[in-house]
């Protein structure tokens, strides 16, 4: 096993997207990571960057921790996309850097890590904080339990950056005659099957679950019976923390799906983010028993705007409700989680 921990980082006290102290947050994230986990397990930590960490800043961030390596990458809009279709600022807010980041994490990262010889990775962002001591090797735990994808939280993605996404995924699995493992179970408002309508409310709920199961069973045989494409529940892995086996992402089926997604250009044109495609890939191709929900440590990833909690939050570990970090967070923002 040759695992690593990855970050994508920016060497700035005020990032162009949110005006946050990216460099300061990265250092805090690394300090907590080493204190609570990596001092003991000594995994390689790769920090991808666009050349803005010069040698002296790299040394400052490393603080003598030899496991940390900086790796320079270059971002560019793919040549097969029409640049005129790509807004410089999406919705007048989101710059191109954020969309390069999304493409990096849902498409480019897998062949890069594979070529470097890493077979597992764990992702953290500069604003990802692990607050609890983790006393076991997370990668060995995953392998020993035959899991290929581990996540800490699920959040409901807003509608705006998902327009057209589920339709695109359904078109692909339909055309390719793929029978998704659990993706269709997330179309849960209503269903059309054999011209019957089932409401999710009340007593019919159980029946709908059965219908979904049957629908999954039927898919490859009856292409006319499909869930309505606009009904995706948008529940997605909050993947600023995740652990996964690189080999899964390099299988021809998953690569083919990711390449299709990439050619559509949804990251750049519609701000479809990395976590929605990652969620779909996992739920289409990965058996449920290979997915693990970590709940035993406290993880923080919060989008704060003007002092207010806008998205995400702090996710207390099973025994961590009285943890100082949890109490401080609640005191400061009035709640633990924001998932509008
Ligand atoms: N090099 C580089 N890194 C970036 C860029 N945009 C984001 N990142 C990094 O990628 C990681 C994820 O970016 P975030 O802005 O936190 O994106 P996010 O987690 O989807 O958004 P939030 O939920 O609001 O935190 C962070 O570590 C960022 O510093 C970019 O343009 N260039
Ligand atoms: Mg983030």
Strands (E), 270-322: 291-293, 299-305, 308-315
The residue extents of the domains of the chain are 3-157+238-270+289-338, 162-231
Supply the pLDDT for residue 185: 85
Q: What is the DSSP string of 130-187?
A: E-S---S-HHHHHHHTT-SEEES-EEEPPSGGGTTHHHHHHHHHHHTT---SSGGGGB
Q: What would the mean pLDDT of 43-57 be, rounded to a whole number?
A: 98
Q: What is the 49 CA–ligand 1 centroid distance (Å)?
A: 11
Cβ-based neighbours of 174, under 8 Å, separated by 6 or more? 223, 226
Q: Predicted confidence band at 27 (pLDDT cuts at 50, 70, 90)? A: very high
The structure tokens 């099957």 sit at: 193
Both tokens of residue 263?
A: 């050619």
The residue among 161, 87, 118 whose CA lies nearest residue 250 is 118
**Range scoring the smallest mean pLDDT among 76-80, 195-199, 261-265:** 195-199
What angle, 0 to 180 degrees and rounded to 10, lies between the N-to-C axes of helices 165-175 and 252-264?
140
Ligand index nearest the alpha carbon of residue 238: 1
Residue 261 CB neighbours (<10 A): 23
Separation between Cα atoms, residue 38 and residue 34, nearest integer Å: 4
Ligand 2: centre distance to CA 227 (Å): 32
Q: How far is the CA of 317 from the centre of ligand 1 (A)?
A: 24
For residue range 306-333, list pLDDT tens digits in order. 889 999 999 999 999 899 999 999 999 9
Q: Which CATH architecture has domain 3-157+238-270+289-338?
A: Alpha-Beta Complex (3.90)
Q: How far is the CA of 240 from the centre of ligand 2 (A)?
A: 6
Q: Whose CA is nearest to atom 31 of ligand 1?
A: 97
Burial of 289 (0-12, 13-18, 19+ CB in 10 A): exposed
Q: Which helix (H) or strand (E) holds 105?
A: none
Distance from C-alpha of 179 to C-alpha of 112, rounded to nearest angstrom: 29
- pLDDT, residue 227, reads 55
Pick from 10, 18, 311 the residue to mutate for probing ligand 1's pocket: most ligand atoms within 8 Å of its CB.
Answer: 10
Cα separation, 323 vs 5, in Å, equals 25
Per-residue pLDDT tens over the stretch 132-185: 999 999 999 999 999 999 999 999 999 889 988 998 999 999 889 898 999 988
Nearest to 316 by CA among 136, 151, 139, 132: 132
User: How many of the other CB atoms lie within 10 Å of CB of 265?
Assistant: 19
Please give the number of the atom of ligand 1 that sits closest to the Cα of 274. 20
Q: Is the dihedral of CA 212, 217, 218, 220 positive or negative?
A: positive
Q: Give CA–CA dist 161/262, Å, rounded.
A: 16
Residue whose CA is at the smallest distance from ligand 1 atom 22: 303
Smallest CA separation from ligand 1 atom 21, residue: 303
pLDDT digits (tens, 9 = 90+) for 67-94: 999 999 999 999 999 999 999 998 888 9
Task: Say how many Å lie between the CA of residue 241 and the centre of ligand 2.
Answer: 9
Contact 179, 220 (CB under 8 A): yes
Q: Which atom of ligand 1 is nearest to the CA of 22?
A: 29
Shortest CA distance to 29 belongs to which of 130, 122, 101, 121?
A: 130
What is d(CA 58, CA 46) in angstroms, rounded to the nearest whole number? 12
Cβ–Cβ < 8 Å for 106, 274: yes
Provide the H-helix boundaries in 54-95.
Answer: 55-62
The SS3 of residue 34 is helix
Atom from ligand 1 closest to the CA of residue 97 = 31
**What average pLDDT is seen over the chain?**
89
More confident residue, 255 or 339: 255
Ligand nearest to the CA of 94: 1
Q: What does the CA dihedral 61, 55, 48, 73 come to, rounded to 10 degrees?
A: 170
Q: State how far Cα 88 lies from the chain centre.
A: 24
**Number of the ligand 1 atom closest to the C-alpha atom of 310:** 24
Residues in contact with ligand 1 (CB, 6 Å cut-off): 7-10, 17, 22, 49-50, 97-98, 100-101, 125-127, 240, 303, 311-312
Q: How far is the CA of 301 from the centre of ligand 2 (A)?
A: 7
Measure the CA dihedral 21/268/286/181, to 10°: 130
Which stretch of DSSP H or E encloses residue 292? Answer: strand 291-293
pLDDT at 110: 98
pLDDT-based confidence at 191, cuts 50/70/90?
very low
Distance 124 CA to ligand 1 centre (A): 10
**226 CA distance to ligand 1 middle (Å):** 36
Q: Residue 73 CA: which ligand is closest?
A: 1
- 3-class DSSP state of 195: coil
């Amino acid at each position: 096993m040759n695992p690593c921990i990855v970050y994508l980082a920016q060497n700035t006290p005020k990032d162009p997207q949110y005006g946050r102290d990216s460099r300061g947050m990265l250092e805090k994230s690394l300090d907590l990571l080493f204190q609570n986990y990596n001092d003991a397990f000594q995994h390689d930590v790769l920090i991808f960057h666009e050349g803005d960490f010069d040698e002296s800043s790299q040394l400052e961030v490393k603080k003598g921790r030899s496991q940390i390596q900086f790796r320079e990458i270059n971002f560019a809009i793919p040549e097969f996309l029409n640049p005129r279709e790509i807004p410089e600022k999406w919705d007048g807010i989101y710059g191109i850097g954020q969309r390069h980041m999304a493409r990096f994490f849902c498409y480019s990262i897998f062949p890069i890590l594979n070529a470097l010889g890493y077979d597992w990775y764990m992702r953290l962002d500069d604003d990802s904080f692990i607050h609890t001591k983790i006393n076991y090797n997370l990668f060995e735990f995953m392998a020993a339990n035959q899991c290929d994808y581990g996540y800490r939280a699920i959040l409901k993605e807003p509608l705006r950056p998902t327009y057209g996404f589920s339709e695109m995924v359904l078109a692909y699995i339909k055309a390719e005659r793929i029978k998704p493992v659990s993706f269709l179970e997330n179309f849960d408002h209503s269903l059309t099957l054999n011209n019957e309508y089932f409401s999710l409310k009340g007593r019919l709920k159980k029946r709908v679950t059965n219908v979904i199961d049957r629908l999954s069973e039927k898919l490859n045989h009856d292409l006319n019976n499909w869930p309505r494409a606009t009904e995706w529940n948008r529940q997605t892995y909050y993947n600023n923390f995740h652990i996964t086996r690189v080999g899964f992402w390099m299988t021809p089926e998953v690569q083919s799906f990711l390449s299709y997604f990439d050619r559509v250009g949804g990251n750049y044109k519609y701000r479809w983010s990395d976590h929605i495609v990652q969620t779909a890939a996992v739920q289409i191709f990965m058996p449920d028993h290979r997915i693990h929900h970590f709940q035993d440590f406290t993880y923080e990833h919060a989008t704060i705007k003007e002092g207010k909690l806008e998205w995400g939050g702090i996710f207390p570990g099973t025994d961590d409700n009285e943890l100082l970090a949890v109490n401080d967070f609640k005191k400061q923002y009035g709640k633990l989680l924001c998932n509008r």
